[in-house]
Amino acid sequence: MTDAALGNLRAFAEEADAGLLSPVSASPLVAALTGDRAVLAAILAVESGWAAVLERADLALAGSAAVVASAADPGRYDLAGIALRAQGGGNPVIPLLAGLRKNVAALDTDGVGAAKAVHTSLTSQDVLDTALMLLARNTVHAVLADLKGTTAALAALAERHADTLCVGRSLTQHSLPFTFGLRAAQWFHGVAAAGRQLAALEFPVQFGGAAGTLAAGTVLTDGSQATPFSLADALAAQLGLAPAPAPWHTNRLAVTSLGHALASVLDAFGKIAADVLFLSRPEVAELAEPKAAGRGVSSAMPQKQNPVLSVLVRSAALQAPNLAAQLHLAAANFNDERPDGAWHSEWPALRQLLALTLGAAGHMRELAEGLRVFPDAMRRNLDLAGPLLLAEGVGAALAPLLAEKDGRTGKQQLQDVVDQTLLTAPADQAGTYRKLLRDAVPAAVVSDTRLEELLDPASYLGQAAEIAHRIVAAFPDHVPPTSEPNPSHLNGASRG
């Protein structure tokens, strides 16, 4: 292969994680926080941070940390070449170290012996596990920022549409009267709860040495006031990670907990996306995504306005369970003190989960903040079922008032009314149900006015307003002060 061809391949490799076939995560932010360059930078940050820790503990010569920090500039390294050479040792730390040591030697013009501070008493897993925790921490912080925007928007929708009637659906069919405010509050609940779980994560430093016994660290600190444990804590503080009570080379709860939390966020996003996709169908038309130039277009049909934000978010949600499962599968197969492949299988699954969650978080925030709501269409769809939608409430209110007739209880008589109504054409069911119900329930028992009250969808909302309020109130850290629910809805009364 010619040098020019090799150069072209390397240039291509530099863009290999641009996201051409993963548009949900194709963004400069995702690439900056989870791409190959970000992994490289995190590994170098660990090595540089470790040199600083050693120098402060008088276990490296003065000036070593500055030399290593200069040598740890990611721009000095051939990313594609490191990736290829990683096949030789099974991980990218090994070839990167060769380059780091070479650069340290070249930059150590004052002869401070900085090379002795590079990777001393560490093992590749210490560095890569810690680097991935650093990568995850940075990504999760960005995800949480978008989650706050999403939950604020959803809380505002819940407040604004507390009285907006719509139809609840069960097993694809109309079930009971509902409110869009409660639907938005339930969306909020899923995202806020998942966000709380994500925010509670710790990102621990890894430091165990070759076999997790800290043997080399013990030798390193012999005669020093430092111990391997104090050095590990100092590295955690240097990098802004959590200290770890012990090496966790084969105890992967830090990774599986992270994977579970990321998947939970995407689960909550997936629920919202699925609802928006259905509710934005032209024949439903209760919602629409925010408009943006060039979004939702079709290559063949100029009239199409595809709900692309929801499509992309849903694509991420559908990928997350298998990626989280891969992390659990790996954790269950961490044999010996250093596994033979299980550890390696974590890396792409974890990074893909991080990328998908961060990408989806940005799209979900834009969707929530710009969602278009059409109350008239919601009422139109609610009215499709007509008064039959109130059959449960009618039965509960009227059955006890009806005397037994022909051996049939009041409840059975009202069920007969429903069954006979369902035998008629859908267009005739509203009038048929009213007539049959009036015939079955004597006016002396229930007046026309009371019967119409029972057939008003706004009369059978249960505790919808209070449920929405309780959900939002349970997550005050996700609600800006201006998004507090309207006090008129705090008494639990149902409004239509």
Tell me how far the alpha carbon of residue 470 is from its chain's centroid.
22
Please check whether residue 316 is in contact with residue 143, taking contact to mean a CB–CB distance below 8 angstroms.
no
Q: CA 273: distance to chain centroid? A: 12
- The Cα 129–Cα 46 span in angstroms is 10
| Cα 61 to chain centroid, rounded | 45
Return d(Cα 230, Cα 197) in angstroms, integer: 29
Q: Can you list the pairs that 76-80 forms with residues at least 24 positions away whose Cβ atoms lie under 8 Å?
A: 76/103, 77/40, 77/44, 78/10, 79/13, 79/14, 79/36, 79/37, 79/40, 80/9, 80/10, 80/13, 80/14
Radius of gyration of the chain (CA): 31
Query: Do 327 and 252 touch, CB atoms closer than 8 A?
Result: yes
* Marked catalytic residue, from 76, 169, 338, 380: 338
Collect all residues with Cβ–Cβ distance below 8 Å to 310 and sequence separation of at least 6: 272, 273, 274, 276, 277, 280, 289, 367
Could you give the dihedral angle defined by the CA atoms of residues 363, 365, 367 and 372, in that order, rounded to the nearest 10 degrees? -170
380 is catalytic: no
437/424 Cα distance (integer angstroms):
15
Catalytic option among 224, 281, 298, 372: 298
H or E segment to which residue 285 belongs: none
Helix (H, G, I), strand (E, B) or coil at 177: strand
Annotation says 64 is catalytic = no
Hunting for tokens 């049939």 — which residue is that? 408
Residue 382: partners with Cβ closer than 8 Å, 6 or more residues away: 165, 166, 167, 174, 177, 389, 457
Neighbours of 106 (CB within 10 A): 11
Q: Which long-range contacts (CB under 8 A, 24 or more apart) does 32-36 make?
A: 33/135, 33/138, 33/139, 33/142, 33/354, 33/358, 34/135, 34/139, 34/351, 34/354, 34/355, 34/358, 36/79, 36/83
Pairwise CA distance, residues 82 & 39, whole Å? 12
Beta-bridged to residue 204, according to DSSP, are: 242
| AA letter at 393 | G
| Strands 287-288 and 173-179, sheet pairing | unpaired
The angle formed by the CA atoms of residues 45, 194 and 33, to the nearest 5 degrees, is 25
Q: In terms of C-beta distances under 8 Å and separation of at least 24 residues, what long-range contacts does 169-175 make, across chains too?
A: 174/382, 174/384, 174/385, 174/389, 175/389
Which backbone phi and psi does 246 adopt, to 5 degrees? -160, 160
Active site residues: 298, 338
